[in-house]
Structure 1
Amino acid sequence: MFAEDKLLVKIAEMYYQENKTQNQIAKELGIHRTTISRLLKQSREEGIVQISIKYDKAGTYNTEKQLERAFNLQKAIVVPVAHDLDRRQKDILLAEALAIYLKNILHDGMTIGFSWGATMSAVASCMPELNLSDIVCVPMIGGPSGRLISDYHVNTITYEAAKKLHGIALLIDSPAIPETKSLKEELLKNVFNQELIRLWDHLDMAVMGVGSPVLKNNQTWQDFYGVDIIESIKGQDVVGDVVSRFYNIHGEHIINELDDRLIGIEADKLRECPYRIGVAESRDKVSALIGALRGNYINILVTTEETARGILDSI
């Protein structure tokens, strides 16, 4: 047994410290390569070799894995950011991290949906420039009820993304929230809107921000929804929304007056999309993100390290 232990130590030393290949070790010791492989495995099992991973050296890797396990995510991208950065700077860092990931998964023939907002504006500006074929970019919701900074409009975002990807953009000329249900029905008869609805049914990827009613005093939210609609969801258990589909902390849809009037992708159709990418950060959005994750609205999360820790500390 002592001789075997000496052999295990010898092989482990040659492999792990001298960086020799299993073939080189086999030749030097006159042992079959398959035996070398078996003995290396045995040395780990018996504790002769102990492998430890220093997660603190891997930045946010461990946090990403915790999120992926907690919510059964396809991917979590956690970005460390300095505390003194402003909102736009943080959005750009998130968008740049997403762009790196997108380079690996975007391919010819994809139909990609986009939502609106400041974060999505950053996503569009940082979209990787790829020479792809047959890419179609579409808005997943109509335009604002009131005034909105043009860069935050879903049509602007969709167009900018399509330009970067050498694809085509289909734009929407209907409001997200028509005044009445009957007006919505009339607008949806439009041939262009019919084409959008057809594409919503077959999205390959959806990229969206996550809203939070905690930010109801945010000017961008007020510009999109109008004060009356923001007031109408008060007193309900709303923690957030994706493409104006409101939900509670458990991710359950909350029935509200917008449901019959909203021009946008249905929640069930959104969940059928293979890549559902949510991009958002801030302590104020922790509950909104937890609800979105639990409700399976998103299966790929891009956020800051601070927000990620807030999510994990709250579940």
Structure 2
Amino acid sequence: MDNNEEIRLMLKVAQMYYDNDMTQSEISKELGIYRTTISRMLKKIREKGIVKITINYSLSETFSIERQLVERFGLKEAIVVPVTGDDKKSKLKVMGQACAQLISRIVGDEDVVGLAWGSSLAEVINELEEPRESGAVFVPMVGGPSGKLESQFHVNTLVYAAAQKFKGTSYLIDVPAILERKETRDQIVESQYFQNISELWEKVTIAIFGIGSIQIKGSATWNSFYGNELFEELERGQIVGDICSQFFDIGGNLVTTSISERRIAIGLDHLHKTKYSIGVAESEEKADAIIGALRGKYVNVLVTTEETARIILERTV
């Protein structure tokens, strides 16, 4: 086949495949050419520039921002949702929808899914679609609240609800996140009950959690969980945020506090080992906390709003 004839054939194949939406099998049958030859020809068509494929990234308003976050912090994925207005509930809802879609996509039968507590995660669980069969196991990554916390935000509530959505297995935790005495915490850690939970923590493959911020310590949810005991101590330190009641600075370094030896929670080092460690958080007040979590590599998938993502990028230039 001379060069001109080859070009004509490639143009014909390109037209049939790209303009007429014909399959490779249909083209093979019509032209009397092996399907494997058609496949090789389509590759050559792209290499020679006969057909140029471009991706219109402008169709997604936030794709560029997501790509910048992924590259800057070495993330597996970033999900940035555009939100207009200042309605907190609306922001939580759209983030919940986006995260719920991600979870539905990645959770498999062999996964052990760890959950924390809070309003962001409650919205994620609410937005999960209809129940589907799964052999996944769901486990709390932190103990319950020391004070009063709305039951809809409690870690056990969220773990049970998530397991119901996936028709999986749930394990609940019957101890507070923060004990009054170190000795009590040590006794619990040594118990057979806790050993079962601890073994599951070692197997967590997908971790989903909110990110707390020192700047929102006056919120009702924060007060319900921590009370007033940590306020002065946190203000004196360089702490910007927490994950599962473990505090860190803007560089992602863990900071020891008065509750460090009285805490019941998965160690943040576990989050470095999970396939997916998904942080769900937004707001200008939480930007530094999110940056600290990203720098500490506790998060490899971030779900946030466009406004928050832009602030993070601006502060980490």
TM-score (norm 1): 0.87
Gaps of 5+ in 2: none
Give identity over the alignment, percent.
39
Secondary structure of 1:178's counterpart equals coil
Aligned to 1:298: 299
Aligned to 1:155: 156
AA partner of residue 193 (structure 2): F
The count of corresponding residues between Structure 1 and Structure 2 is 311
Aligned to 2:188: 187
Distance 1:25 1:221 in 2: 65
Aligned to 1:210: 211
Aligned to 2:45: 40
Distance 1:120 1:19 in 2: 43
Secondary structure of 1:77's counterpart equals strand
- Over 3 Å counting, the alpha-carbon distance change for 1:20 and 1:194 in structure 2 is closer
- Over 3 Å counting, the alpha-carbon distance change for 1:314 and 1:7 in structure 2 is farther
Distance 2:211 2:8 in 1: 58
Residues 124-164 of structure 1: CA deviation (Å, up to 9, x unaligned):
22233343343321111111121111111111111111121
Tell me the CA shift for residue 52 of structure 1. Answer: 4.1
2:116 counterpart of 1:122? no
Aligned to 2:58: 56
Secondary structure of 2:304's counterpart equals strand
AA partner of residue 151 (structure 1): Q
Kept in 1, the 8 Å contact 2:118–2:153? The answer is: yes
Tell me the CA shift for residue 238 of structure 1. Answer: 1.1
Tell me the CA shift for residue 281 of structure 1. Answer: 1.0
AA partner of residue 287 (structure 2): V
Kept in 2, the 8 Å contact 1:206–1:277? The answer is: yes
Distance 2:152 2:40 in 1: 63
Aligned to 1:246: 247
AA partner of residue 224 (structure 1): F
Distance 2:117 2:40 in 1: 59
AA partner of residue 67 (structure 2): K
Aligned to 2:71: 69
Secondary structure of 2:224's counterpart equals helix
Kept in 1, the 8 Å contact 2:108–2:135? The answer is: no
- Over 3 Å counting, the alpha-carbon distance change for 1:17 and 1:175 in structure 2 is same
Kept in 2, the 8 Å contact 1:15–1:25? The answer is: no
Distance 1:286 1:111 in 2: 29
The aligned runs of 1:214-225 (5 Å cut-off) are 214-225=215-226
AA partner of residue 306 (structure 2): E
Aligned to 1:101: 102
Gaps of 5+ in 1: none
Kept in 1, the 8 Å contact 2:131–2:164? The answer is: no
Kept in 1, the 8 Å contact 2:212–2:242? The answer is: yes
AA partner of residue 75 (structure 1): E
Tell me the CA shift for residue 242 of structure 1. Answer: 0.8
Distance 1:170 1:98 in 2: 22
Distance 1:95 1:149 in 2: 18
Distance 1:16 1:7 in 2: 15
Distance 1:217 1:230 in 2: 9
- Over 3 Å counting, the alpha-carbon distance change for 1:198 and 1:34 in structure 2 is closer
- Over 3 Å counting, the alpha-carbon distance change for 1:8 and 1:239 in structure 2 is farther
Distance 2:187 2:40 in 1: 74
Kept in 2, the 8 Å contact 1:127–1:165? The answer is: no
TM-score (norm 2): 0.86
Secondary structure of 1:288's counterpart equals helix
Residues 154-175 of structure 1: CA deviation (Å, up to 9, x unaligned):
1111111112121232211211
2:169 counterpart of 1:164? no
The aligned runs of 1:10-49 (5 Å cut-off) are 24=27, 33=38, 36-37=41-42, 40-44=45-49
AA partner of residue 160 (structure 1): A
Tell me the CA shift for residue 54 of structure 1. Answer: 3.0
Aligned to 1:139: 140
- Over 3 Å counting, the alpha-carbon distance change for 1:17 and 1:176 in structure 2 is same
Tell me the CA shift for residue 119 of structure 1. Answer: 0.9
Distance 1:126 1:33 in 2: 44
Distance 2:245 2:39 in 1: 59
Tell me the CA shift for residue 90 of structure 1. Answer: 1.5
The aligned runs of 1:279-298 (5 Å cut-off) are 279-298=280-299
Kept in 1, the 8 Å contact 2:10–2:45? The answer is: no
Secondary structure of 2:262's counterpart equals coil
Distance 2:117 2:269 in 1: 19
2:88 counterpart of 1:83? no
AA partner of residue 196 (structure 1): I
